Amino acid sequence: DGGITQSPKYLFRKEGQNVTLSCEQNLNHDAMYWYRQDPGQGLRLIYYSQIVNDFQKGDIAEGYSVSREKKESFPLTVTSAQKNPTAFYLCASSKDSKVYEQYFGPGTRLTVT
Amino acid sequence: AQRVTQPEKLLSVFKGAPVELKCNYSYSGSPELFWYVQYSRQRLQLLLRHISRESIKGFTADLNKGETSFHLKKPFAQEEDSAMYYCALSDRNQFYFGTGTSLTVIP
């Protein structure tokens, strides 16, 4: 069940600390995405990257940052500026920017206290 | 602006009964629409897409441009269909997901 992996599965942090969530894919996909999943709100796009060294803000990018230095990796940093960081975070990838189908990782549940 | 609307958060049907999960969208061009499903303790995965006009696990979905809808249907629900279903729209740059409908099939 490889393809796209996220680590860790559960993450706990103290308020005020930055935390980085890992996302790796071995599907040779060009595009990668980060979503936040909250109860009753579905999936909301945080950031996406259509190619290495390029990324764009999604609907809720405030308080988050990303990098795309390698095709396989798209880490997400939740900064202390994010007001409600506790959530389930999903990473996805797609073959190219045309976005015909997205493949999702298993997710990381972040709890900030 | 909300591009994808799923009006039902929860839906329960009896096994063997027909099921319809509603999805309406707002998009000015020619949308590409998808249904994703998340079974318990599994990752989110593609169920079907309108361009394929396929039936997956007995589910079908027809794009109705006049009503801007893409409802998911199955004539006879099975217990294993219990899951969270998300309707999604692609504008070829990114996806827009609905808020999801949790389907429970009662034995």
Which structure tokens are listed for A14? Answer: 């103290």
If interface means Cβ-Cβ distance under 8 Å, which residues of chain B face chain A? 6, 9, 32, 34, 43-46, 49, 86, 90, 92-100
Mind listing the pLDDT tens digit for each residue in A14-53? Answer: 988 999 999 999 999 999 999 999 887 889 999 999 999 9
User: Residue B69: exposed, middle, or buried by beta-carbon count in 10 A (0-12, 13-18, 19+)?
Assistant: middle
Task: Determine the average pLDDT of the residues in B42-69.
Answer: 88
User: What percentage of residues in chain A have a pLDDT greater than 90?
Assistant: 73
Average pLDDT, chain A: 91
A61/B51: higher pLDDT: A61
Cβ-contact A32, A18 below 8 angstroms: no
Mark B29-56 as b/e (b = at least 16 C-beta within 10 Å): eebbbbbbbbeeeebbebbbbbeeeeee
What is the distance of C-alpha B59 from the center of its chain?
A: 9
Q: Which of B49, B92, B94 has its CB closest to that of A45?
A: B94
Which 3 state secondary structure label does DSSP give A101?
A: coil
Which pLDDT belongs to residue A2? 60
Which pLDDT belongs to residue B99? 92
Which amino acid, one-letter code, is at A109?
A: R
Binary contact (A40, B45; C-beta < 8 A): no
Asked if pLDDT for residue B94 goes beyond 60, the answer is yes
* Structure confidence at residue A97 as a pLDDT band (50, 70, 90): low
d(CA A105, nearest CA chain B) in Å: 7
Which amino acid, one-letter code, is at A71?
A: K
Task: Determine the average pLDDT of the residues in B15-29.
Answer: 94
Q: Is A101 on the interface with B (CB under 8 A)?
A: yes
Average pLDDT, chain B: 91
Which pLDDT belongs to residue A99? 57
User: What percentage of residues in chain A have a pLDDT greater than 70?
Assistant: 95
Asked if pLDDT for residue A81 goes beyond 60, the answer is yes
Task: Determine the average pLDDT of the residues in A73-84.
Answer: 92
CB < 8 Å to A99, chain B: 32, 90, 92-95
In 3D space, the residue among A40, A59, A39 whose CA is nearest the CA of residue A48 turns out to be A59
CB atoms within 10 A of CB A106: 16
Asked if pLDDT for residue A98 goes beyond 90, the answer is no
Q: Which of A90, A97, A107 has its CB closest to that of B93?
A: A97
Place of tokens 């990018």: A61
